[in-house]
Every structure is written in structure tokens, then in C-alpha cells.
């Protein structure tokens, strides 16, 4: 087994090694009006179907196994259960539910006003970036650790407050987190903090201002923990910190959609592909990926837009026009592409590798055409 770290939704998973997905890929099935990041385990794919207002589970053939109707959902997988929070719409979240992964049967349910940001290996649920308005200008930002048994047990909460009459906010928690066995790592304002897993107390705080500050938008820090380091995006680039004391181990002045695998940091910007050494931050490869794609297939204005997935041999990324590419992981050389009919683009979506398959959702802000979930199968 080996650590394979990817963006939110497929993050911090331990995957079997090797990961052998390689092109050419062929489209096995697709589902209409299904968006967000698919969660794939044990041959099942669980995804939010926004048009149907339901959480659905499909098998390897794309056949629906079950659905759980709800108006809003955030979800994760814990063992053989799908843990979800469902409600009407933010901020009117109503309850936690745990569903049997195989049947969709409701195992337990409890009222709660929190959101799921990350399900930790021990079964705890980390809740981040909950905002409570205290007055017209005053806000409280809350993170918490909860457990779902017969009821929702809040293990601890931590909060910061800000009055916007005093200037821009610099104390809000990010919505993306990572963890090890002792700490939870999250960006808070202009610093990266390590919170004690059991108490929520600050273990250490690392300032980010000298590294460009925190990313401008929520959920862009993409913290990932591997080999004693926590790697994040800042507004100025990619940085790695010691999990033990928060000391900055290295900084690289570029950042993008990232995967960490096998002692390497792989990431793409809109037009370039990079490989960094995980322990030192040394740049091992930098290539003009978009220009290479344009030249190979005589395309124009290629912009990488999805997150990045890597296997032992290849990388996979989508662009703004709905083209999915595969390239040689160690050289960046593009080798395969596909553009499904009616595709609306892959902006911000996360390709997920499971066995010899790759799952990726398209992006659409309009009801027509709606987003779709695509399942590809690799060669051999």
C-alpha cells in the first residue's frame, strides 16, 4: 500500500500500489445531470445528482443500486457506510445520516447544524468553515470535531470572530483540511495551523505572508500530508511544512492542481506541468504542457481546468472545453485525448482513479446541457 494524495473528495486515501491505469481509455458509461466529485470504493460509485435532488449509488456498469432523496448533501465514505449531511439548502442543514453502502438503507440519523469537510480515519468528522453572523458586521468562524453514533456528539469546537468595520477578515478557517494521527491541518486567515486531533487546541501556527499569503478563495489551499510534511498551496506558490513543528521545509513559486504520490509532487497550472521532489521541493520537470497539446493535435487556446490524477505511468487532466488528456507522467508528453459528445468542460472537477477506471464529472452552470459523470476504462 502507498499514500496517494489528491484533491478534496478523493483526498488522503491509501491506494494499492501500483496504480496501473494507462491509455488509451474508452468510455464505458456516463450519467446525465450528475455532478460533483464521485466517491468510488469496492466497485460502487456514490455521487450527488443535483437535478434529481438525490444521493445515488451506481455499480461498475453504471446501473443504479439505490438513491437517497434529499435537497442538499455533503457526503463521504467510511468503511461500508456512506456518511452524509442532508438538508434543504445552506445554511438550513437538518441532519446527519449514515447509509449502508450496498443497499442505501438508513443505518442511523441525527439532527445537526454542522457540515462535513473531512471524514478522518478514526471515524471522526471534521467540520470546518461554518460561519455564524453575530450582527450586521460581526461574524464568528467555527471549526469542530464531531462523532456520529446514535446522536451527534461534538468532541470539541474552536472559533474566531471578526468585525468587518476593523478591516478585511484574517481569521476565517479554510474549508479544506488534511490530517495525520495527531493533528488536523487547516489554513486560518494568513497562517497554517495544526490543531490537536483530540482537543482542537493549536499545536503550532506557521505564517504564510512571506510565501504570498493564503489563497484568495476558499478550498484552494489543498493541504496534503505525506512523509512527515504537509504540502499546501499559498497565494505565491507551493509550500511544505514539518508536521511536527510547522517549520517551512521548502517553497516553490508556482502552484496548481496537485497530486502527491511516491515521493513526488505533481501539479498542473493552466498551461504547464511540474514535478517536484517531495522532501526538498527541487523542480525535477517543468514543461509547457498546453503548448505541447496544441502542437500535437493542432488545437488552439488549450487551458487545463480540472484537478490532476496520476498513475504509475501517466497523468490525466481535463480542459475548459471538455477534452480529457493523458500524458507520460515522467516527461509530460501528451499521448491521448478524448472529447465526449455534448461535453460542457471539466473546470474544477476531480478525476478519480479506481482500479483500471477513471471517473470524472463535467462542469455546467446551466440546466442545458447539464453536467455528466463519465466512467473510462484503461488499456489492458
C-alpha cell belonging to residue 355? 482500479
CA dihedral 189, 194, 200, 202 (to 10 degrees): -80
Place 280 in a pLDDT band, splitting at 50, 70 and 90: very high
Question: Over 60: is that where the pLDDT of 10 sits?
Answer: no
Choose the most confident range, by mean pLDDT, from 12-16, 45-49, 152-156, 282-286.
Answer: 282-286
Question: Over 70: is that where the pLDDT of 114 sits?
Answer: no
Place 209 in a pLDDT band, splitting at 50, 70 and 90: very high
pLDDT digits (tens, 9 = 90+) for 310-365: 999 999 999 999 999 999 999 999 999 999 988 888 988 889 898 899 999 988 76
- Average pLDDT on 71-93 reads 68
Q: What is the pLDDT of residue 247?
A: 97
Place 14 in a pLDDT band, splitting at 50, 70 and 90: very low
Read off φ and ψ for residue 364, nearest 5 degrees.
Answer: -155, 135
Percentage of the chain exceeding pLDDT 70? 87
* Residues with Cβ within 8 Å of residue 114, at least 6 apart in sequence: 85, 93, 96, 125, 127, 130, 144, 146, 152
Place 379 in a pLDDT band, splitting at 50, 70 and 90: confident
Say which residue the cell 488536523 belongs to: 184
pLDDT digits (tens, 9 = 90+) for 18-68: 788 999 999 999 988 887 778 888 888 988 887 778 889 999 999 999 998
- Average pLDDT on 211-230 reads 88
C-alpha cell belonging to residue 279? 522532501
Burial degree of 247 (CB within 10 A; 0-12, 13-18, 19+): exposed
CA 228 to chain centre: 20
Total number of residues shown for the chain: 380
For residue 104, how many other CB atoms are within 10 A of its CB?
A: 17
Place 195 in a pLDDT band, splitting at 50, 70 and 90: very high
Place 4 in a pLDDT band, splitting at 50, 70 and 90: low
- For domain 39-113, give the CATH number: 2.40.10.480
- In the chain, domain spans: 39-113
Read off φ and ψ for residue 256, nearest 5 degrees.
Answer: -175, -165
**Cβ 140 vs Cβ 132: under 8 Å:** yes
- Average pLDDT on 268-277 reads 97
Rounded CA separation 324/333 (Å): 14
Q: What is the pLDDT of residue 9?
A: 37
CA dihedral 178, 184, 187, 190 (to 10 degrees): -140
- Identify the CA nearest to 308 among candidates 274, 342, 262, 278: 274
Rounded CA separation 149/284 (Å): 47
Give the HSE-up count for residue 25: Cα atoms under 13 Å, Cβ half-sphere: 32
Complete DSSP assignment for 72-139: EEEEEEETTEEEEEEESSTT-EEEEEEEETTT--EEEEEE-----SEE-TTS-EEEEEEEEE-SSSEE
Question: Over 90: is that where the pLDDT of 267 sits?
Answer: yes
Helix (H) or strand (E) holding 276: strand 273-277
Helix (H) or strand (E) holding 179: strand 173-179
Give the HSE-up count for residue 236: Cα atoms under 13 Å, Cβ half-sphere: 13
**Cβ 346 vs Cβ 306: under 8 Å:** yes
Phi-psi region of 137 (alpha: psi -120 to 50; beta: other; left: phi over 0): alpha
Amino acid at each position: 500500500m502507498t499514500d496517494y494524495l489528491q484533491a478534496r473528495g478523493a483526498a488522503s486515501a491509501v491506494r494499492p500500489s501500483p496504480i496501473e491505469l494507462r491509455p488509451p481509455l474508452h468510455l464505458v458509461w456516463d450519467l446525465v445531470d450528475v455532478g460533483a466529485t464521485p466517491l468510488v470504493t469496492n466497485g460502487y460509485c456514490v455521487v450527488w445528482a443535483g437535478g434529481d435532488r438525490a444521493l445515488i449509488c451506481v455499480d461498475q456498469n453504471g446501473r443504479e443500486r439505490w438513491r437517497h432523496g434529499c435537497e442538499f448533501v455533503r457526503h463521504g465514505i467510511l468503511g461500508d457506510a456512506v456518511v452524509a449531511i442532508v438538508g434543504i439548502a445552506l445554511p438550513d442543514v437538518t441532519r446527519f445520516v449514515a447509509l449502508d453502502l450496498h443497499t442505501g438503507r438508513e443505518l442511523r440519523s441525527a439532527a445537526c447544524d454542522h457540515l462535513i469537510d473531512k471524514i478522518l480515519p478514526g471515524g471522526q468528522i471534521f467540520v470546518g468553515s461554518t460561519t455564524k453572523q453575530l450582527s450586521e458586521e460581526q461574524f464568528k468562524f467555527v471549526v469542530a470535531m464531531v462523532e456520529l453514533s446514535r446522536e451527534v456528539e461534538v468532541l470539541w469546537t474552536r472559533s474566531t470572530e471578526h468585525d468587518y468595520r476593523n478591516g478585511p477578515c484574517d481569521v476565517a478557517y479554510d474549508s479544506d483540511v488534511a490530517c495525520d494521527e495527531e493533528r488536523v491541518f487547516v489554513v486560518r486567515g494568513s497562517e497554517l495551523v495544526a490543531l490537536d486531533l483530540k482537543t482542537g487546541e493549536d499545536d503550532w501556527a506557521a505564517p504564510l505572508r512571506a510565501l504570498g499569503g493564503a489563497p484568495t478563495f476558499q478550498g484552494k489551499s489543498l493541504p496534503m500530508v505525506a512523509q512527515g510534511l504537509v504540502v499546501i498551496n499559498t497565494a505565491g506558490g507551493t509550500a511544505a511544512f514539518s508536521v511536527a513543528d510547522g517549520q517551512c521545509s521548502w517553497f516553490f513559486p508556482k502552484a496548481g492542481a496537485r497530486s502527491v504520490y511516491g515521493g513526488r509532487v505533481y501539479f498542473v497550472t493552466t498551461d504547464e506541468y511540474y514535478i517536484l521532489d517531495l522532501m526538498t521541493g527541487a523542480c525535477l520537470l517543468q514543461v509547457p504542457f498546453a503548448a505541447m497539446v496544441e502542437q500535437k493535435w493542432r488545437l488552439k487556446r488549450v487551458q487545463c481546468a480540472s484537478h490532476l490524477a496520476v498513475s504509475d505511468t501517466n497523468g490525466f487532466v481535463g480542459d475548459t472545453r471538455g477534452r480529457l488528456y493523458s500524458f507520460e507522467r515522467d516527461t509530460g508528453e501528451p499521448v491521448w485525448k478524448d472529447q465526449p459528445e455534448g461535453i460542457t468542460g471539466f473546470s474544477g472537477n476531480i478525476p478519480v482513479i479506481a482500479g483500471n477506471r477513471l471517473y470524472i464529472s463535467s462542469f455546467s452552470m446551466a440546466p442545458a446541457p447539464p453536467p455528466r459523470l463519465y466512467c473510462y476504462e484503461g488499456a489492458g
